[in-house]
Homo-oligomer: A and B are copies of this chain.
Amino acid sequence: MMIVMKETATEEEVEAVAAKIERVGARAHRISGARVTVIGAIGDVEHDVSVQSLGLEGQPGVDRVMPILKPYKLASLEMAHGERTVLDLDGRKVGGDHFALIAGPCTVESREQTLATARAVRDAGATLLRGGAYKPRTSPYAFQGLGQEGLKLLAEAKEETGLPIVTELMDMRDMEAVLEVADVVQIGARNMQNYPLLAEIGRSGRPALLKRGLSSTLEELLMAAEYILKEGNPNVMLCERGIRTFETAYRFTLDLMAVPVLKELSHLPVIVDPSHAAGRRELVGPLSLAAAAVGADGIIVETHPNPDEAICDGPQALRTEDFAEYARTVEQAAALAGKALAGRDLALA
């Protein structure tokens, strides 16, 4: 933590700040420049938290407080000594040089739709099956998902295809039911900072797919992951799904820079969801290629046997009949970034 004093700060003010820093166990190191004095608070992350809690921004003579150490620990690449986390889901790998293709319907609608989709994506080499049973909807009047009925259909799809399941949990009261089916529990963007939910998933030990909030910084995303990791659950995938900007030509702005930067900061795998940002099928293909080429560890994408009849988000769903061709080109793009489709061998076996 660096405390930048104002040009007009007095010697007493500088000393008062230094004294406060030392009171919480950090060391105060003073640097006097031509115009301003800067005080470095030397210590570890714990000291940083303590120094932060001093609220020095409000002290007389203080201009700014600038953090030096990153506020997350378990999520950081340094803590992992540069070694990347590779998740193992029923033998399917995510992370490292394994590229995960996670596909399925936005919402589980019916037995036929779910099984048809599951078979199609399995045949095309998908790594995991995604599907929503509980849907967070902006409108209370919109379809909210099939709930437990949907979970049962996902279980059946897994039984038949062998694909591990990714499905969203919104309400802690559905946790038990979701854990019965989900190989990976998805935390949606709106719940990225639902800390009690994060901690519970941390305690469950179940792998989590954590979506970045609509306007969350990468640091906040890593701090949200830290809530899960701190409970002893190391199995977290981060997911970029589009951020909110001033642009109105698309639903969200897919932030592909997040991928290489998150991988510089953290050892956790980084997945991209092109469907929700795009909102339209035509954009999903190009964005998927870009996501794979930029170095993502996987893509989570929506597909439907008959998107025109989909209950929810049909326009952004790839047609299952086009999915195998789509998977093939994404695989080529991933190869440019040094990754091979995870589960490919299993699918062909």
- By a beta-carbon cutoff of 8 Å, the part of chain A in contact with chain B is 2, 4, 7-8, 29, 31-36, 38, 40, 42-46, 49, 52-59, 66, 68-69, 71, 78, 136-143, 170-173, 190-191, 193-196, 199, 214-215, 217-220, 223, 226-227, 230, 243-250, 253-261, 264-265, 277-283, 286-287, 289-295, 307-308, 310-316, 329, 332-333, 336-337
In whole angstroms, how far apart are the Cα atoms of A156 and B1 in the complex? 38
Residues of chain B within 8 A of A217, CB atoms compared: 246-249
In whole angstroms, how far apart are the Cα atoms of A36 and B278 in the complex? 24
Question: What residue in chain B is nearest A192 (Cβ atoms)?
Answer: B190
In whole angstroms, how far apart are the Cα atoms of A246 and B257 in the complex? 14
Contact A311 B45 (CB under 8 A): no
In whole angstroms, how far apart are the Cα atoms of A58 and B313 in the complex? 9
Given contacts A42-B34, A57-B315, A58-B314, are A257 and B230 in contact (CB under 8 A)? no
Contact A66 B2 (CB under 8 A): yes
In whole angstroms, how far apart are the Cα atoms of A46 and B307 in the complex? 22
Question: What residue in chain B is nearest A278 (Cβ atoms)?
Answer: B257
28 A-B contacts (beta carbon < 8 Å): A31-B42, A33-B43, A33-B69, A35-B69, A38-B40, A49-B142, A55-B307, A55-B313, A56-B315, A57-B279, A57-B315, A58-B281, A59-B308, A137-B195, A138-B193, A172-B173, A215-B215, A215-B244, A217-B248, A218-B249, A243-B253, A250-B261, A253-B255, A286-B293, A290-B291, A292-B293, A333-B336, A336-B336
State which of B58, B220, B261 has its C-beta within 8 Å of the C-beta of A138: B220
Question: What residue in chain B is nearest A313 (Cβ atoms)?
Answer: B55
**Closest chain B CB from A342 CB (angstroms):** 20
In whole angstroms, how far apart are the Cα atoms of A155 and B81 in the complex? 49
